[in-house]
Amino acid sequence: MSLLAVGAVLEGEHDYVIIDGNVEPNAIDRIGYFVREKAARVLAVTVMPGPQLRNAVSECKTLKKLHPHLIIVWGGYFPTQHWDVCLKADYVDYVIRGHGELVFKKLLDEFKNGFEPSILRGLAYRNATAHTPASNPLPAIPHPDELPDFPYHRVDMSNYVRPTFMGERTMPHHSSYGCPFFCNFCAVVNLVNGKWLAQSAERTANTTEILVKNWQVNAVEFYDNNFFTKQSRVAEFADRIEHLGIHWWGEARIDTLLKYSENTWDLMARSGLKMVFLGAESGSDETLQRMDKGGSATVEKTLDIAGKMRQYGIIPEFSFVLGNPPEPEKDTETTIDFIKRVKKVNPQSEIIMYLYSPVPLSGELYENAKANGFEFPETLEEWVSDEWQEFSQRRSLTLPWIKDPLTRKVRNFERVLNAYYPTSTDMRLTSARRALLRTLSAWRYHTRFYKMPLELQVLQRFLAYQRPETSGF
Ligand code: B12
Ligand code: SF4
């Protein structure tokens, strides 16, 4: 979707192709072909932290060696935050920060005319004389309603329809940019700085209908950072898609959803809303405050929404961030106990646990992390090391404030929890297997004896059941 968004504004203005390294085995060869045979001058790469970064580094290095004149531009979450580190590598020529489709188009226009990089908002570049990285301010977010539709004809869409527990033919969409909050552990803040702009309910429903009609989709996942920010948009959207008979999924804030009327809940349930991803984050109000969770977030509200969604048969998928400094052990204990309360209120709740992994964003958490000796890598080579890849995927075992017994404790608890409450999104787990897992894990769950659950580890391998964290991001 990142590349479809960037491509959409180039249609009819610049010649381009989309090459998706996730599905094309010979991406480098294809890029080489376009450089050699079609005189392609610019390679634009979308980069998330984690495995995508690792591929981007090795492939851009190779491409720059093979084609020194190819201009390589990086965009997306990773370069937006770590633009200076990216520009220290000689295989990255420019970084575009934030929602960058219009900035990128402008950059291509400027390449034709010769330009002064310091005036293009959203562009980070190497200073011509000192060769040091420099960045202009973030660009304004383009209004999603004023942007063209995704140019689906540019990719083979059959690659992107996949089975999920919501439907045999599930596809993603993204209908809004940003989020109006400033949680200080969240990378979204660095991309949008508290802004949220959305496509109308009508346009979002029309796109959904296109996915259904053209690709026989029966479920849609909305990857918006905060799909549910505006109640009237959601209610109208739900009303407009009810006749499609699909299932759908989105991400929300708990306090926002608690303000929704019964009428909106009714509409959402009737329109096929199956599951909502919610940032519960912590079992402690004190930690929620430390996170600048904002709005009116409290742990009581997490319990309230769990109950509310049970009433409507919509599954809450709660994400928790554990191991927060300055007292990671106590923080983790409190949240583990709280998760059990959530499960009591709504046993269907999905639980996703992450370890706090800082983003470069001012706030108490990051300040605490730095005071504990945390520092981001200074080169891309370090970022792609095993240690920092684990960090990017939020399972680092080497953060200065996280000691081994703590990570083991979280993993053990996770194993017991997932056996006692196997995830409802697992399509392979029969009810007999669920019952077996539950029986074997019950004593541990109730006595809080999570240590060394070897029998569950064996069972997990044997039954190959899905653990919820593999479905989270
Ligand atoms: C879809 C998604 C995924 C998919 C990726 C599918 C794929 N192969 O690309 C899956 C589920 C696999 C995934 C996995 C992960 N993800 Co992810 N993912 C997302 C999600 C929900 C949507 C991204 C998206 O498509 N948005 C729609 C498009 C239109 O917007 P966009 O990507 O932001 O693109 C715009 C700008 O960023 C910019 N831009 C982006 N690329 C480029 C490139 C150029 C050249 C230019 C000019 C501009 C530009 O312009 C675009 C248009 O405005 C985001 C959160 C979000 N809502 O954005 C998280 C998010 C990006 N993921 C995140 C993470 C952490 C991960 C994982 C590391 C998680 C894990 N524990 O393993 C993995 C790593 C995956 C990898 N391969 O490296 C984090 C990044 C946090 C951070 N510190 O930066 C995010 C922000 C979620 C979050 N809130 O924490 N993810
Ligand atoms: S509400 Fe969610 S998306 Fe918005 S800043 Fe907080 S964690 Fe990030």
What is the pLDDT at residue 131?
Answer: 86
Domain ranges for the chain, please list them.
2-135, 161-371, 419-473
Ligand 1 centroid – CA 459 distance (Å): 33
Ligand 1 centroid – CA 77 distance (Å): 6
Ligand 1 centroid – CA 457 distance (Å): 31
Query: Ligand 1: which atom is nearest the Cα of residue 142?
Result: 53
| Local confidence band at 467 (pLDDT 50, 70, 90 cut-offs) | low
How far is residue 472's CA from residue 275's CA, in Å, rounded to a whole number? Answer: 13
Number of the ligand closest to the Cα of 184: 2
> Would you say residue 197 has pLDDT above 90?
yes
Query: Ligand 2: which atom is nearest the Cα of residue 293?
Result: 6
Mutate to test the pocket of ligand 2, among 177, 185, 189 (most ligand atoms within 8 A of CB): 189
Say if domain 2-135 classifies as CATH 3.40.50.280.
yes
* HEC string for 4-70: HHHHHCCCCCCCCCCCCCCCCCCHHHHHHHHHHHHCCCEEEEECCCCHHHHHHHHHHHHHHHHCCCC
Q: Could you give the 3-state DSSP secondary structure of residue 353?
A: strand
For residue range 219-231, list pLDDT tens digits in order.
Answer: 999 999 999 999 9
Tokens linked to 78: 């990773």
Q: What is the mean pLDDT of residues 264-279?
A: 98
How far is residue 336's CA from residue 343's CA, in Å, rounded to a whole number? Answer: 11
Percent of the chain residues topping a pLDDT of 90: 80
The closest residue, in CA terms, to atom 54 on ligand 1 is 223
Return the DSSP state at 468. G
Ligand 1 centroid – CA 6 distance (Å): 14
Report which of residues 470 and 196 the model is more confident about: 196
For residue range 346-392, list pLDDT tens digits in order.
Answer: 999 999 999 888 999 888 889 988 998 999 999 999 999 999 999 99
Ligand 1 pocket residues where CB is under 6 Å:
1-2, 5-6, 22, 44-46, 48-52, 73, 75-78, 81, 96, 99-101, 104, 174, 186-188, 223-225, 359, 392-394, 473
Fold equal for 2-135 and 161-371: no
- pTM, to two decimals: 0.94
What is the pLDDT at residue 465?
Answer: 62
Q: Looking at the domain 161-371, which fold is it?
A: TIM Barrel (3.20.20)
What is the pLDDT at residue 363?
Answer: 84
Percent of the chain residues topping a pLDDT of 70: 98
For residue range 127-185, list pLDDT tens digits in order.
Answer: 888 789 999 999 999 999 999 999 999 999 999 999 999 999 999 999 999 999 999 99
| Local confidence band at 469 (pLDDT 50, 70, 90 cut-offs) | very low
What is the pLDDT at residue 466?
Answer: 59
> Would you say residue 335 has pLDDT above 70?
yes
What is the pLDDT at residue 112?
Answer: 80
Q: What is the mean pLDDT of residues 447-472?
A: 74
Q: What is the mean pLDDT of residues 446-453?
A: 93
Least confident of 312-321, 397-406, 435-444: 397-406
Query: Ligand 1: which atom is nearest the Cα of residue 224?
Result: 57
- Residues 341, 342, 345, 346, CA torsion sign: negative
Other CB atoms within a 10 A radius of the CB of residue 465 amount to 18
Mutate to test the pocket of ligand 2, among 141, 184, 253 (most ligand atoms within 8 A of CB): 253
Q: Which of 166, 162, 250, 236 is nearest to 206 (CA)?
A: 236
Length of the chain equals 473
What is the pLDDT at residue 344?
Answer: 96
The closest residue, in CA terms, to atom 84 on ligand 1 is 77
Mutate to test the pocket of ligand 1, among 2, 179, 366 (most ligand atoms within 8 A of CB): 2
What is the pLDDT at residue 468?
Answer: 47
Q: What is the mean pLDDT of residues 79-97?
A: 97
Mean per-residue pLDDT of the chain: 93
The closest residue, in CA terms, to atom 44 on ligand 1 is 75
What is the pLDDT at residue 400?
Answer: 85
> Would you say residue 429 has pLDDT above 90?
no
The closest residue, in CA terms, to atom 1 on ligand 2 is 181
> Would you say residue 39 has pLDDT above 50?
yes
Q: What is the mean pLDDT of residues 240-247?
A: 98
Ligand 1 centroid – CA 223 distance (Å): 9
| Local confidence band at 279 (pLDDT 50, 70, 90 cut-offs) | very high
Return the DSSP state at 165. T
Q: What is the mean pLDDT of residues 331-339?
A: 95
| Local confidence band at 471 (pLDDT 50, 70, 90 cut-offs) | very low
